Chains A and B, each alone.
Chain A
């Protein structure tokens, strides 16, 4: 059974710092891995989608990596800003399911 774990559950960092969010999954047979952000009381915003054959994707200050063999993905946020404060969710695609981690609540301190 596929399980997705995100560590840490919560993170506070000063504005301007670079940071890394971690995601691990137990079954490496995935199609894609996707990172989302969710603001309080809001829906899901897709950040980056990494195909199973890819190792990383970049969008602006965000870089997501994927290592299928070790069952890990990281989301790197450069030069963090207060507007980056949100919950970040990792999700893996397998068969007919998209399985989510429990998220990391990120707080950027002004």
Chain B
């Protein structure tokens, strides 16, 4: 069983469209994250949710809206897509505490044309 799964794996869309990326974890973790990996391969946190509550929003544009229907899911909805949104988006989950490992999904490669 995949611990953290993201769909879709690839997404190609036109500027101005609205799209969603889904993430699910079956580890029972309380915390989920979205990361963006830019063209220079730098992984930067976007959002952190703990038990469905937003904990961290790292100055991400309002066009990005995470939604957590339950603690096993954290979906990312993006409105009015721009060329600069092209990147790989990684979902992750973890449990607070020393020694608890975070698990990452395989990533969603978003290309805006």
A residues sitting closer than 8 Å to B (CB atoms) are 31-32, 34, 36, 38, 41-44, 46, 49, 51-53, 87, 89, 91, 93, 96-100, 102-103
Contact = CB atoms under 8 A, between A and B. Distances in A.
Contact of A44 (B40, B96, B104, B109): B104
The secondary-structure label for the interface of chain A is strand
7 contacts: A43-B90, A46-B103, A51-B99, A93-B94, A96-B55, A100-B42, A100-B44
A36 B92 CA distance: 13
Interface in B77-108: 90, 92, 94, 96-107
Interface of B: 31, 33, 35, 40-45, 48, 50, 55-56, 90, 92, 94, 96-107, 109
B50 A32 contact: no
Contacts of A100: 35, 42-44
Main SS class of interface, B: strand
Q: What are the 6 closest A-B residue pairs judged by CB atoms, nearest first?
A: A43-B106, A100-B43, A51-B99, A44-B104, A96-B55, A96-B48
